[in-house]
Amino acid sequence: MIAELGLAALWLAAGLCVLQFVSGAIGVGGGADSAVGALARPAAIVQSLLLVISFACLLRVFAVTDFSVALVAANSNPDKPLIYRISGAWGNHEGSMLLWVTILGLCSALVALFEKRMDDRFMKAALAAQGFVALGFFGFLLLSSNPFARLDPPAEIGAGLNPLLQDIGLAMHPPTLYLGYVGLSVAFSFVVAALITRQAGPELARVMRPWVLAAWVALTLGIAAGSYWAYYELGWGGWWFWDPVENASLMPWLAATALLHSVSVLAARDALRTWTILLGVVAFSMSMVGTFLVRSGILTSVHAFAVDPERGAFILVLLTIYIGGAFALFALRAGSLAEGKRFAMVSREGALVVNNVMLSAILAVVLLGTLYPLLAEAFGTRVSIGPPYYNPVTAIFAVPMFLVLLIGPLLRWKRDSLSRVAVPLAIVCAILAGSVSVLVLFTGAGVLATIGLALAAALALASWLPLRGRQLRRVPLALWGSMLAHFGLAVSLCGMASESAFSVERLVAVRTGDQVEIGPFLARLESVEPVAGPNWTALEGKIAVTGNGVDTLLRPQARYFTQPFQGTSEAALLTLWNGQLYGILGEAAGDGRWQLRLWWKPFVTLIWYGGILIALGGVLSIFGHLRSSVRRRKIREEFARRRAERDAA
C-alpha cells in the first residue's frame, strides 16, 4: 500500500500543480481581486505537502527493500547498509526526478508562504511560471518514469545500487545539486514574472537575491562534494577531468555566479536591468541543459541514469519549450524594460560587468566543448575534448577576471578613479609580481600553475582590503560574506595550482617488504589480506608510511561487489596540513608482486576547503541581505505608521 499511497499523492500533487498554473495565469490577467487567482498560493502549499508524502513513500519502500516495486528491485538489495538503501531512492533515474519535483514543490510553497515584497500580480505570475516548469516534470514522471511501478510477481532479489554510488559523498551530492538547480528555477520564475508585469527594478533584485545566493551555495557545495568523491572513489587521483557530466554541473554555477553579481548591481544601483533578466534565463537554461545531458542517455557515465531514447526525447521537448519560450518572451519584452542608471567604466559596476563578461565567455567555452563532441558524433565523427582545450582557453578569460577582482571591490559605485586606490593597487601588484618572481626562480611550476599561485596570493590579501579604513563593528554581514567567498576562491585556486605544479606520482610493482620513495615519504608494502564488508569482499593492502614526521599505515582496498557484480578501488588517504598522500592497490603483477599507485599532492585539500569557505561566504551574505530586508521593512512600516498618525491628527 505504501507504493500506491506515494503514486496517489504524486497524481494529486500534479493536479494541484495544474491548478497553481491556471489560477496564477488567470490571476495575472484578471487582476489582484480575482477569486480564482487567489488559489495559486494554497495550491502551491498543499502540492508541496503531497510531494513530501510521495517522496517519503519512496524512501520507505527502499528502506524496507520492497522488491514488488520495480525501481527497488532494479536498484537495491537487503545486504546494503541502510544509508545506501535510502540513498538508492535517488541514485536512479525515476527517484532522482521525483526528488527534483519534490524540491521544486517545496520551493514553490516557500515562495507562496513567505514572499510578500512584490505586489500580488507579480507573485501570481511567478507562481504560474513555477507551476508551468513543474508540469513538465510531473508529466515526465507520471507518463514515462513512474517510480512506484509494481512487479508481478515480485523479484526474488534486487540488482543492487551501482557500487560507485555506495558512498556518503554521492549520497549527499545529488540532493545538494538539485537544491541549486531548483533555486535557479525560482529565480527564473521571478524573471518571467518581471517580464510579464514589467517590474524589473531594484525590488525584483532584492527578492531574487536570496534565492540566487541559496542556489549558488548549493551548487558550490554539490560540485565540491562531487569533485572530492571522484577524487577518492574513482581511483585515478584527479579532482576534475572536464567530463561532460562534470561540465553539466559547472555551467549552471558559472551562470549563477554571473547572475549573482548582476543582481547585486541591480539591487544596489538600479543598473544592468536587461542583463540581469537575460542571465536569469541563461542560468535556468544551463540547469535544463545539464538535466538533458545527464538523463537523456546520450552520455555514458556513472551519473547518466537514463538510457531510454524516448525519455531523452521527452526531456529535449521540455528543454525546447522552457528555454525557447523564455528567450522568446525575453525578445518580446526586453525592449520595454527601462534602461536603468548609467555608470562609468572605472566603477564597481564596471568591474562587475567585466566579471560577468568573462564568466559568460568561460561558460561559452565550456558549453562549446561539451556539446561539440556530441554534435560531431551525430554526424559520424568521434571527437575527444579534454584538459588541453579547456585549461588554456578558460585561462584566457579567467586571468583578466581575477585581475579585475583584485581591485573591483575597492572601487566606488557609479564613478571612481584608479588614483584614489593607488596604494592598495600598488600593494596588490607588488604581491603579484613578487609571487611570480619567486615561483619562476625557485620552482619548476608551469606557466598556468605559476599564474594561478600568484593570483591566489594576491587575491588572498585583496579579499580583505575592503576592511581598510572601516570600523569592524559596522561592517555589514553581507560584506563579510563577500570577502570570505573571495578569500575562499583564492584558497581553492591555490590548491588547484599547487596540485597541478607539485604533484608526484609513482606506479610500481612491489613485493611484500619492498619500499618506495614518494615525495618526502617512504612507503613499504607490509601485506595484502582478504577482508569482508556488509555487501562486498576485498583485498586490503597495508602500506607503512614513514618520513616527514609521519609513521602510519595506509589501507587501500580492491573491493568486489556481487549485487551488481563490479569491482572498485578504495583509495587510502593520509591528510596532512600541507597535502595528501594517496594510495591505490592494483592487481597482482605475478611473482608475488602487487601494483601500487601512489601520489603525493601538496596542498590539494585547499581545493575543497576553499569551496567550503566560498559556500560559507554565501550563507553569511544570505543572512546579511535578509537582515537588511527586515530592517528596511520595519523602517517603511514605521514611516507609514507616523504618516497615518499625522494624517489622523
Q: Is the pLDDT of residue 68 over 50?
A: yes
Helices 244-269 + 273-295 axis angle, to 10: 160
If phi over 0 gives left and psi between -120 and 50 gives alpha, with beta otherwise, what is residue 188? alpha
Residue 243 CB neighbour total at 10 angstroms: 15
pLDDT at 399: 96
pLDDT over 90 (residue 601): yes
- Residue 34: pLDDT band (50, 70, 90) is low
Which spans in 36-167 are helix H?
40-63, 70-75, 82-87, 93-114, 120-144
Q: What would the grid cell of residue 363 be? A: 561558460
Taking the C-alpha atoms of residue 96 and residue 569, their distance in angstroms, rounded to an integer, is 26
The tens digit of pLDDT for each residue in 496-535 reads 999 999 999 999 999 999 999 999 999 999 999 999 988 8
Does residue 305 surpass a pLDDT of 60? no
pLDDT at 503: 95
- What pLDDT, on a 0 to 100 scale, did the predictor assign at position 306? 43
Run of H or E residues at 593 = strand 593-602
Beta carbons within 8 Å of 648's beta carbon, 6+ residues apart? none
Collapsing DSSP to helix, strand or coil, 527 comes out as: strand
Higher pLDDT, 50 or 332: 50
Classify burial at 395, counting beta carbons within 10 Å of its beta carbon; exposed 0-12, middle 13-18, buried 19 or more: middle
Question: Where does the pLDDT of residue 161 fall: very low under 50, low under 70, confident under 90, or very high at 90 and above?
Answer: confident
Q: Helix or strand or coil: residue 159?
A: coil
303 pLDDT above the threshold of 60: no
Q: How far out from the chain centre does Cα 105 lie? A: 19
- How many Å apart are CA 495 and CA 501, to the nearest integer? 10
What confidence tier does 649 reach under pLDDT thresholds 50, 70, 90?
Answer: low
Q: Residues 438-464: what's their mean pLDDT?
A: 94
Are 418 and 346 within 8 A, CB to CB? yes
**What 3-state class would DSSP assign to 517?**
strand
Cα-based torsion angle of the residue sequence 120, 124, 126, 127 in order, rounded to the nearest 10 degrees: 130
**Amino acid letter, residue 186:** V
Residue owning grid cell 572536464 = 242
Question: How sure is the predictor about 299, in pLDDT bands with cuts at 50, 70 and 90?
Answer: low
| Coil, helix or strand at residue 526 | strand
State yes or no: cis peptide before 409, omega within 30 of 0: no
Q: What is the pLDDT of residue 534?
A: 83
What pLDDT sits at residue 279? Answer: 95
Is the pLDDT at 555 greater than 80? The verdict is yes
The per-residue pLDDT for 308 is: 56
Check pLDDT > 80 for residue 564. no
The predicted model gives 44-51 an average pLDDT of: 97
What does the pLDDT average to over 133-161?
Answer: 86
Set of cell numbers at residue 251: 555551467
Can you spell out the DSSP letters for 541-584? Answer: EEEEEEETTEEEEE--EEEEEETTEEEEEE-EEEEETTEEEEEE
**Grid coordinates representing 387?**
584538459
Given a cut of 90, whether residue 448 has pLDDT beyond it is yes
Query: Cα-atom radius of gyration of the chain, to the nearest Å?
Result: 27
Mean pLDDT along residues 320-324: 87
Predicted confidence at residue 404, as pLDDT, reads 95
The span from the CA of 251 to the CA of 606, in Å, is 22
From CA 385, how far away is CA 219, in angstroms rounded?
24
- Joined together, the cell numbers standing for residue 110 give 516557500
pLDDT (mean) for 223-234: 90
* pLDDT per residue as tens digits for the range 71-109: 999 888 887 888 888 888 988 888 988 999 999 999 999
Give the whole-angstrom CA distance, residue 629 versus residue 635. Answer: 10
Which of 452, 515, 462 shows the shortest CA–CA distance to 485? 462
| Burial group, residue 294, by CB count within 10 angstroms (0-12, 13-18, 19+) | buried
- Of the candidates 252, 236, 250, 317, the one whose C-alpha atom is nearest the C-alpha of residue 285 is 252
340 pLDDT exceeds 80?
A: no
- Are the C-beta atoms of 489 and 615 separated by less than 8 Å? no
pLDDT at 9: 97
- 468 vs 640: which has the higher pLDDT: 468
**pLDDT-based confidence at residue 469 (cuts at 50, 70, 90):** confident
% of the chain surpassing 70 pLDDT: 96
> Quick check: helix, strand or coil at residue 508?
strand
Q: Which helix (H) or strand (E) holds 530?
A: strand 521-532
Could you tell me which residue, 309 or 276, shows the higher pLDDT?
276
Using the predicted structure, report yes or no on whether residue 302 has a pLDDT greater than 50.
no
Lowest mean pLDDT among 14-18, 114-118, 260-264, 438-442: 114-118
Q: What is the mean pLDDT of the chain?
A: 89
pLDDT tens, position by position, 174-208: 889 989 998 899 999 999 999 998 888 899 999 99
In our burial notation (b when 16+ CB lie closer than 10 A, e otherwise), range 550-585 reads eeeebbbbbbebebeeeebbbbbbbebeebbbbbbb
**Per-residue DSSP letters for 283-300?**
HHHHHHHHHHHHHSSSS-
Which of 51-60, 265-274, 331-340 has the lowest average pLDDT? 331-340
Candidates 166, 141, 109; CA nearest to 10 is 141
Q: What would the mean pLDDT of 567-581 be, rounded to a whole number?
A: 92
Higher-pLDDT residue of 216, 630: 216
